Amino acid sequence: MKISIFGTGYVGLVAGACLADVGHDVICVDVDPKRVDNLKAGIIPIYEPGLEALVKNNAGLGRLNFSLDAEHAVQHAQVIFIAVGTPPDEDGSADLKYVLKVAETIGQYMNDYKVVINKSTVPVGTADKVKARVASVLADRAEKIEFDVCSNPEFLKEGAAIEDFTRGARIVVGTDSERVQSLMRECYAPYNRNHDKMIFMDVRSAELTKYAANAMLATKISFMNEISNLAEKLGADVEHVRIGIGSDPRIGYDFIYAGAGYGGSCFPKDVQALARTAEQVGYTPQLLHAVEGVNAFQKESLFTKLVSALGSVSGKTIAVWGLAFKPETDDMREAPSRVLIDAVLAAGGKVAAYDPKAMEEAQRIYAGSEGITFVESRNAAVDGADALVICTEWKEFRTVDFEWLATQLKSPVVVDGRNLFNPEYLKRVGLEYWAYGRGNSVNSVS
């Protein structure tokens, strides 16, 4: 199939590379000349395991191309994905200006039947707006060209996006058109061989499915964090509770790890956008607001625990292990590390920070900031630091020589935002271990 994808960010680039990898003829379009030039040169703007090799291989084979030429891209393809950003507006709602601009572009240049696919995460009703915008531009051109608009939300986890695209549990498509169903089956056929993963539904239900999925996962995280805060008060260990409830197949073990809260480009934005959508139709989303509130508390509690341990951070150096919001990505959007670092710097402290993949992004975010140093390893971060805070559960942080660590820190304080360690191991070597919901066996505060 001839496919065009508008947007070369996380979703567009992964989708383009994966669709090209099974033989489709794909053009990825962007408005940023530097980004397009870099992609043509094999320079990938994000870190995602396996993506760079996938892009280079398919670009080299001529199946994946990058372009600024929107007219050519529209006329090239029968299937056009919209995968541009939908950043949160001031009130938390999703900003659709980029999505609707692409719709205008499609209407301006289309010359025959097209399927326009909303791949971006968008509020319920967006497909109707895209359809109206395309139709309006066609009317201005005095053209009567048939087209359809459908919803095909992405369910990609950062750090496992290629696996999710190629071996995902479901492919959701919102449409009432049999023609669109047929074309979408053709598009995804190479990834739909083992069993039929395609789920067709009406457009609005598909749009809501994406928000509901992320809100549900965020709810599980915030619920477990609420339990962890209660466990601290009651002298229970949330890790034991996690295993106890996770063994119930109705609950499962995924997304029930207590810690410093969720971040990234999806959960915070999507929970806020869904809450805003509810309010716009006259419904007060009490649970969604609670999910957000618990998450904000968890992020702030990293600094609260640190101050409880040290008394003050003024004039002290805090080692930070992990800057990305989760492992296997360089994404620092809404990361707990940023809340911690900002609080330490504002209180007169200094930060020695290390992350296996997010150093370049961190340097961009904190360019010109005084008091923060970026170091080349986890060992360099703790050398002479007053305390250690762990913000991301990278594999290289999971096994530590605690006797060595105790010799590196001026104060024997470890604040673990991801509950990585057995509290008893740290206590044996004289380290104060401040974790989340680990009961009477550790030093912890709510």
Q: Which residues are catalytic?
A: 266
Residues 281, 287, 292: CA angle, nearest 5 degrees: 100
Whether 306 contacts 415, CB under 8 Å: yes
Burial (Cβ within 10 Å: 0-12, 13-18, ≥19) of residue 144: exposed
CA–CA distance, 3 with 109 (Å, rounded to integer):
15
CA distances from 294 to 47, 231, 285, 301 (A): 29, 15, 15, 10
Q: Would you say the C-alpha torsion 82, 84, 90, 91 has a positive or negative sign?
A: positive
Residue 435, C-beta contacts closer than 8 angstroms, at least 6 positions apart = 415, 416, 419, 421, 423, 442, 444
- Per-residue tokens: 442: 């550790």
Cα distance between residue 120 and residue 98, in whole Å? 10
Question: Exposed, middle or buried: residue 145 (CB in 10 Å: 0-12, 13-18, 19+)?
Answer: middle
Cα distances (Å, whole numbers) of residue 32 to 39, 98, 147, 411: 11, 13, 27, 48
